[in-house]
Homo-oligomer: A and B are copies of this chain.
Amino acid sequence: MNYQEILDEIGHEFKAVQFEGKVASYIPELANVSPDKFGMHICCLKGGNYSLGNARESFSIQSISKVLSLTLAHLYEGDKIWKRVDVEPSGDPFNSLVQLEFENGIPRNPLINAGALVISDILVSHLSNPKQDYLDFVRKLAGDATVDFNLKVAASEKEWGFRNSALINLMKSFGNIQNDVEEVLDFYFHKCSIEMSCATLARTFLLFANHGQLLGRGEAVIPKSQTKRINAIMQTCGFYDEAGEFSFRVGLPGKSGVGGGIVAVHPGAYSVAVWSPKLNPKGNSSQGMAALEALTTKSGLSIF
């Protein structure tokens, strides 16, 4: 089967399945999304693009943004960032404070909220115009100048962001936040509010399958060795306290968001994005995980 046949088969099989889960409801903008949305898109390094369902409809990428901000922060600070954030799986929910307190304000990894707040702090220190500069970086990877923040989502996140406020203040008390907490939170909430379709998202992450290079655009955004490391972090830390389960079932590095999106990459082969808003109890898209498991099972290919 080729990829389009696999996607079509997944689309066909999943019609008969009722996936469990609840749409994220902590802010109205996410709660209003239809739970029945389902899209999937594959970008191959060889050039092919394959789509299923609502693959061209935009959604809130939320925590998926953390991989992109990590990538940008590393371009500015290099391995110095590992003094302020670790690379270990957390084994805890995405917004837990427990480990952070035991470990003196050093987050377990850059893909949980605490770690992404430290990365945001680093970017606020380096970027002259943090929100616009970050958006320009993402647009460049996406090859799409229309990618944008959803300002209503960003404002709503801020209004209900008490736990993120707790996290950043705790880290500030340990000296691991250098800028004003309000400024960093504002940048962080905007960052999470970016909207993309599965097609754009897969395209944006294709460089992680391509050793750090923008496909067909002759440009190395990040070195090969660094691409390997970001993929490794996605593999062990991309799904909060379900990273092992995703690795076990899907066998690819990836990252999820509470908007229901998941992106994954098969280094040397393809990137893939899937979107279905119903989340399992650990905050990851139920149907999204199942779809990616079906993809690697049907294709017989994974990194393992």
A sample of 9 more A-B contacts (CB under 8 A), given A88-B244, A162-B181, is: A87-B248, A166-B170, A169-B169, A228-B251, A232-B244, A236-B244, A237-B244, A267-B303, A303-B303
CA gap between A244 and B251 in the complex, in Å? 16
A166-180: which residues lie under 8 A (CB-CB) from chain B? 166-167, 169-170, 172-173
Cβ-defined contact, B242 with A88, below 8 A: yes
Number of copies: 4
Contact of A253 among B167, B237, B304 (CB under 8 A): B304
Contact of A88 among B162, B245, B251, B267 (CB under 8 A): B245
Shortest CB-to-CB span from A256 to chain B, Å, is 15
In the complex, A108 has a CB within 8 A of chain B: yes
In the complex, A18 has a CB within 8 A of chain B: no
The residue in chain B whose Cβ has the minimal distance to the Cβ of A95 is B173
In the complex, A193 has a CB within 8 A of chain B: no
Cβ-defined contact, A304 with B91, below 8 A: no
Query: How does the 8 Å CB contact mask read for A108-138 relative to B, with 1 for contact and 0 for none?
Result: 1100000000000000000000000000000
Cβ-defined contact, A232 with B253, below 8 A: no
Q: Is the interface of A mostly helix, strand, loop or mixed?
A: helix
Cβ-defined contact, B232 with A236, below 8 A: no
CA gap between A177 and B171 in the complex, in Å? 21
A229-278: which residues lie under 8 A (CB-CB) from chain B? 229, 231-233, 235-237, 241-245, 247-249, 251, 253, 267
Q: Which 9 A-B pairs have the closest CB atoms?
A: A91-B91, A231-B304, A162-B173, A88-B244, A89-B89, A166-B170, A166-B169, A165-B169, A163-B173
In the complex, A49 has a CB within 8 A of chain B: no
